[in-house]
Amino acid sequence: MIRYGKDTDKEILMQLWKICFPQDTERFIRFYFDKVYANDETLVYVENNQPVASLQMIPFRIKTDDSFSWGGYISGAMTHPDYRKRGYMAQLLTASFDSMREKGYAYTFLIPQEEYLIDYYKKFGYENAFPEYFRSYPCSKESKLNARVTIYTDFPTADFPILYALYSHGLMEKTNVVLKSELQFSNTLWDFFDGKGVLFANAKGFAFSSQKGKSIHLTDFFYRNEETKIEFLHTIGAYYSGKRTILYNDPTALVPKYKGMIKSLNPSIAARTDIYMGRMLE
Number of Cα atoms under 13 Å in the Cβ half of residue 58: 22
Q: CA nearest 126: which of 82, 173, 81, 77?
A: 77
Q: Which residues are bridge partners to 72 per DSSP?
A: 59, 108
pLDDT at 6: 97
pLDDT at 278: 94
DSSP run (H or E) holding 191: helix 182-194
Residue-level pLDDT, tens digit, the chain, 282 residues: 999 999 999 999 999 999 999 999 999 999 999 999 999 999 999 999 999 999 999 999 999 999 999 999 999 999 999 999 999 999 999 999 999 999 999 999 999 999 999 999 999 999 999 999 999 988 877 677 888 999 999 999 999 999 999 999 999 999 999 999 999 999 999 999 999 999 999 999 999 999 988 899 998 999 999 999 999 999 999 999 877 789 898 888 887 899 999 999 998 999 999 999 999 986
Query: Roughly what angle, to the nearest 10 degrees, separates helices 182-194 and 160-172?
Result: 110
pLDDT at 45: 98
Domains of the chain: 2-130+258-264 (3.40.630.30), 134-249 (3.40.630.30)
DSSP 266: S
Instruction: Name every residue whose Cβ is closer than 8 Å to that of residue 94 and which is 6 or more positions away in sequence.
Output: 124
Q: CA nearest 107: which of 65, 74, 66?
A: 74
Model confidence, pTM: 0.94
State which amino acid sits at residue 20.
C
pLDDT at 106: 97
